[in-house]
Amino acid sequence: VFSGGILYPRESPTREVKSLDGIWNFKLSKPDHFSGFHERWYHTDLAKTGGAIPMPVPSSYNDITTDSEIHDHVGLVWYDRTFFVPDRWRLANNRVWLRFGGVHYACQVWINGHSVMSHEIGHLPFQHEVTSLLAYGTKNRITVVVDNTLLLNTIPQGQVEPIDTPEGKKQQQTYTFDFFNYAGIQRPVFLYTTPAIYIEDISILTDIADDGTTGIIKYNVSIGGLPEYAGSSIKVYADLITQEGTYASRSNPSIYSSTSTVAHGVLKIKNAKLWWPYLMHPSPGYLYSIEFRVINSDSMNPVEDIYVLPVGIRSLSWSNTTFMINNKPIYMRGFGRHEDSAIRGKGVDLPLITRDYNLIKWIGANSYRTSHYPYAEEIMDFADQQGIMIIDECPAVDTNFFSDVLLTKHKESLRELIQRDKNRPSVIMWSVTNEPQSSDQKADAYFRNVTKFVRETDQTRPITAAIAQSWQTDNLAQHLDIIGFNRYIGWYSNTGQLYEIKKKIITEAQNWHRKHNKPVYMTEYGADSVGGIHTLPVHVWSERYQTELIAEYFKAFDHLRNSSFYVGEMIWNFADFETEQSVRRVSGNKKGLFTRDRQPKEAAYLVRKRYFELAAEL
């Protein structure tokens, strides 16, 4: 879909960024599923077709109106808006790009009636050059059609069945994963400019030299738009700048040769300030930035393009029993999360994101998993800046039916995820799946293939997954570097029997390690509690039951921490979140330490006490 990179749009002396966020026009495609295509809605203003309503971008569309038709819609929805492109963008040697942070699940995009691009697999960015499609100094129209349908060959999987309703035949979406399938243009939309010769992609690898103090940054910069005659007149400079704004290191310019469009270089910095996780160092999340400049010595205006990339210097290493950052053992204390809140659904919301990180730090966590899909880049930026370690998960949740078509798409989701997040210091592992049917024989070959692909793409981070099948029947763990398991003793099994937790969890973690000789951690455990419910004696659904259940797991973890292979504990979930309607769910999943509006439940105080104690031990 995109050739080259998918760098986040950043302003620089050579680049402008314009947001297309705001209120768009919105319309369901009904009664005929394809009416928008038949009537060519991309050739006209949606408003003129009748029945369009205002819809905010970014946001999920499901909870914005009071209409269950929109909330439960299966199939196509249409968006459009107009925008202005300044005349100065027409300048020679300018390119204009259109970039979406994420549209769920699949979409097609038009500019002024011309099809620009399509994308499948939600939660991942995509872009295309639109220079020649825009009208400069005047009004333009952008149209997007979005399809939320999940089938057996989508990531994640779902199924659609026909239903009869009083209004006629409709489709109903079903899926086995446990969160609501929010959809729409859920992340920011940008137009941005680059010069004709531009930085297309940057890949960096960081390490610490044997002296233990010198930071090493290796980089590759690929240049787009190079004319054939450019030859050796094109040079790429890289300056490392500290957080305080001083120059720390400058690499010799790497020269583009006519045989390659990639420039390589190395930056070395003595006494480097390393990127450390939260509470592992007085200033966690230290970021340098590298200013990359493309200089064309043959040109009247020698500076072609400038892009500034934030960089954290850190090393990762792992063995059969340990996981290390900067040569110190990692013990993860955190949770699984969701992109979820009232009204906006999965829409990027800066006040919410900022609040969430304040809560993550309040509770003393050092890590979380982006269960069960890649999170917005705006969310990932905070993790880099604040020293929160991320287990970066692709959208393959609850894979139940394995096929070659699915495998190809699964790998594509990982390719796009790694392409997007490869430079982030916060990302310490790739999670290739959550709770697949790994007892199925087919899972073995399938995940051998998936993990081989990830290892070929990135050798610097270990591969993990969250497994629900038992260690006896599972066919996935042998392909991982670090094994995560989800288990709900005291909730789905042994309901009410908190005394069963400690021995069962210890035994299971030991069995995973014994079978595979790999580090192990718990990716999920927890209990639902409805904020405000208190019972004596203590029963399920009360705040106290959740607290006491979590305390029993802590006893298991304290035992396991004496054995070297155990590397972390993650509670399900950071906050309450929306699911599909179900009698097993009380207005959503209530396993949050925080309510959906981000206030603490009783268990949050217990977890806070423990996480700060764990941090103090390191």
Catalytic residue IDs: 435
- Contact pattern from residue 454 through residue 493 relative to ligand GCB, giving x for each residue in contact according to CB under 6 A and a dash for the rest: --------------x-----------------x-------
Please enumerate in sequence order all residues whose Cβ is within 8 A of that of 91, keeping only pairs 6 or more positions apart, or say none. Answer: none
Residues 399-458 that bind ligand GCB (CB under 6 A): 434-435
- Minimum separation from the CB atom of position 242 to ligand GCB (A): 41
Given candidates 572, 574, 594, 611, which one binds ligand GCB under the rule CB under 6 A?
572
- Minimum separation from the CB atom of position 594 to ligand GCB (A): 15
Q: Are 190 and 173 in contact (CB under 8 A)?
A: no
Please enumerate in sequence order all residues whose Cβ is within 8 A of that of 32, keeping only pairs 6 or more positions apart, or say none. Answer: 38
Q: Which is nearer to ligand GCB, 192 or 491 (CB)?
A: 491
Q: Which is nearer to ligand GCB, 384 or 398 (CB)?
A: 398
- Minimum separation from the CB atom of position 487 to ligand GCB (A): 8
Please enumerate in sequence order all residues whose Cβ is within 8 A of that of 309, keeping only pairs 6 or more positions apart, or say none. Answer: 7, 202, 204, 289, 290, 292, 423
Residues 517-546 that bind ligand GCB (CB under 6 A): 524
Length of the chain: 618
Q: Are 243 and 287 in contact (CB under 8 A)?
A: yes
- Minimum separation from the CB atom of position 195 to ligand GCB (A): 45
Q: What residues form DSSP beta bridges with 521? A: 484
Nearest residue to ligand GCB, scored by beta-carbon proximity: 178
Q: Are 522 and 569 in contact (CB under 8 A)?
A: yes
DSSP classification of residue 296 = E
Q: Which is nearer to ligand GCB, 320 or 493 (CB)?
A: 493
- Contact pattern from residue 270 through residue 299 relative to ligand GCB, giving x for each residue in contact according to CB under 6 A and a dash for the rest: ------------------------------
- Contact pattern from residue 339 through residue 378 relative to ligand GCB, giving x for each residue in contact according to CB under 6 A and a dash for the rest: ---------------------------------x------
- Minimum separation from the CB atom of position 494 to ligand GCB (A): 15
- Minimum separation from the CB atom of position 488 to ligand GCB (A): 7
Please enumerate in sequence order all residues whose Cβ is within 8 A of that of 351, keeping only pairs 6 or more positions apart, or say none. Answer: none
- Minimum separation from the CB atom of position 467 to ligand GCB (A): 10
Q: Which is nearer to ligand GCB, 14 or 157 (CB)?
A: 157
Query: How many residues lie near ligand GCB (CB under 6 A)?
Result: 10
Structure tokens at 436: 């697949």
Q: Does 601 bind ligand GCB (CB under 6 A)?
A: no
Q: Which is nearer to ligand GCB, 29 or 486 (CB)?
A: 486
Q: Are 333 and 568 in contact (CB under 8 A)?
A: yes
Rg, Å, the chain Cα set = 25
Q: Are 431 and 369 in contact (CB under 8 A)?
A: yes
Structure tokens at 505: 């969890």
Count Cβ atoms below 10 Å from residue 392 Cβ, excluding itself: 25
Sign for the CA dihedral angle at 531, 533, 537, 540 comes to negative
Q: Are 240 and 190 in contact (CB under 8 A)?
A: no
- Burial degree of 70 (CB within 10 A; 0-12, 13-18, 19+): middle
Q: Which is nearer to ligand GCB, 265 or 336 (CB)?
A: 336
Residues 163-222 that bind ligand GCB (CB under 6 A): 178
Given candidates 591, 596, 601, 610, which one binds ligand GCB under the rule CB under 6 A?
591
Q: Which residues bind ligand GCB (CB under 6 A)?
A: 178, 372, 434-435, 468, 486, 524, 572, 589, 591
